[in-house]
Homo-oligomer: A and B are copies of this chain.
Amino acid sequence: MVNVAIMGHGTVGSGVAELIIKNSNHINREIKTELRLKHILDLRKFEGLSYSDRFTDDFNVILNDKEVDIVVETMGGLHPAYDFVKACLLAGKSVVTSNKELVAEKGVELIKIAEEKNVNFLFEASVGGGIPVIRPICQCLAANEISEIKGILNGTTNFILNKMVTENMDFSDALKIAQDKGYAEKDPTADIEGHDACRKICILAALAFGKHVYPEQVKCEGVTGVSLTDIEYANTLGYAIKLIGKAKKNSDGTVSVSVAPMLVSHEHLLSGVNGVFNAISVIGDAVDEVIFYGRGAGKMPTASAVVADVMDAAKHLKARKYISWEEGSDSYVAEKDEPTVLYVYIKTCDFKKTSADIENLFPNSLLIKNEHSGEIAFLTGREPESSLNEKIDKIFADNKKILHTI
């Protein structure tokens, strides 16, 4: 018998409890022992559940119960989640978490403690919800040197951008619908400013390249600046606009990490990822590109990933799984002046002058002109970003907006 405690009976935590109970036959058969849900930590009372008797509001009940082998953390936020998880690991308990903030901020320290105590610290649910991505990267692609990892990591913003294009809708109206449907919080900052995607790309970068990247090291731009016009122009040029988290290994050993709305060619599978779905693309030297797609959030999909980790921990109580990376450094994350293609949107009061500038500076670019509104949108050729920016600076305009392509 393996005893499990859950800390936090919110959306994900209650899904974990339900899934452990609902699929117990299946789970016990797979792990060849009985998985028992022993405690649930929450300050609230939950009456009328089949497991209402297992609630406690005292963390020490879990910490001091020698029978508890695995603790699930689904509280979210940094405190007290960090303090509780650390204490559990130090007490020799394996921990499974869905908390991306915790892993992105404290992952390297918690992994080290888990190693020292020979217990598991698993966090498949922290990136991509139910999509299997962390374990496949660590295990299935283990023979590869990974060069790049990128993806649609936030379902809320993907829903909003998608709604804008399918319903011909402004950002604020699409956000409102996302809030009405429960996809976006009342305070949607973490999603729409890219902070959520940023934490996830930090975790993926650490896994893929072996060193911790902190969210504050990442250039992070949200989707609030994306207009319906941009989306329509991009579409006409053969691209979708998606909020992309991207991490790339540089030849000098540093990594470039960014979060921003980017143009994705209609030829690329990521462009077809719609609604609240997420997808993560990994490029390895042997395997080339692989993509993992599914529900990046939600009660049961996320619980699916948490319970899979619990099962894995239960099977490896005495043979710790290796998921680890090292501390990074300030200079480890670096912006590089790489060849790239940019999308440029311009509004001008002198259409002729601006047109002439563009044709002069970017003679072979793909262009959309709207003389009536004074708008021009185009894709540059592939050149180092600094040289593209120098040229773009020279174009006469009232207003310019620049987006990257993936």
Whether a CB of chain B sits under 8 angstroms from the CB of A308 is yes
Q: Once bound together, how far apart are the Cα atoms of A291 and B269, in whole Å?
A: 11
Q: Once bound together, how far apart are the Cα atoms of A304 and B287, in whole Å?
A: 6
Q: Once bound together, how far apart are the Cα atoms of A274 and B301, in whole Å?
A: 28
Whether a CB of chain B sits under 8 angstroms from the CB of A19 is yes
Q: With A288-B295, A294-B288 as known contacts, state yes or no: A307 contacts B143, CB within 8 Å.
A: yes
Q: What residues of B have a CB within 8 angstroms of the CB of A273 in the complex?
A: 269
Q: Once bound together, how far apart are the Cα atoms of A143 and B124, in whole Å?
A: 13
How many residues of A are in contact with the other chain, CB < 8 A? 51
Q: Is the CB of B301 within 8 A of A288?
A: yes
Q: Is the CB of B286 within 8 A of A304?
A: yes
List the B residue with the shortest CB-CB distance to A281.
Answer: B293
Q: What residues of B have a CB within 8 angstroms of the CB of A307 in the complex?
A: 142-143, 286
Q: Is the CB of A23 within 8 A of B144?
A: yes
Interface residues of A in 106-160 (CB under 8 A from B): 124, 130-132, 135-136, 139-145
Most buried by B among A27, A269, A290: A290
Q: With A145-B26, A272-B269, A304-B284 as known contacts, state yes or no: A290 contacts B130, CB within 8 Å.
A: yes
Q: Once bound together, how far apart are the Cα atoms of A240 and B340, in whole Å?
A: 32
Contact of A135 among B139, B144, B315 (CB under 8 A): B139
Contact with B along A280-312 (1 / 0, CB 8 A): 000011111111111100001101110110111
Whether a CB of chain B sits under 8 angstroms from the CB of A319 is yes
Whether a CB of chain B sits under 8 angstroms from the CB of A30 is yes
Contact of A143 among B27, B289, B292 (CB under 8 A): B27
Nearest Cβ on chain B to A135's Cβ, whole angstroms? 5
Q: Once bound together, how far apart are the Cα atoms of A166 and B295, in whole Å?
A: 31
Whether a CB of chain B sits under 8 angstroms from the CB of A59 is no
Which A residues contact B (CB, under 8 angstroms)? Answer: 15, 19, 23, 26-27, 30, 32, 124, 130-132, 135-136, 139-145, 267, 269, 272-274, 284-295, 300-301, 303-305, 307-308, 310-312, 315-316, 319, 322
16 contacts between A and B (CB under 8 A): A23-B143, A23-B145, A23-B286, A27-B142, A135-B139, A135-B140, A141-B308, A269-B272, A269-B293, A286-B300, A286-B301, A287-B294, A287-B305, A288-B301, A289-B295, A292-B292
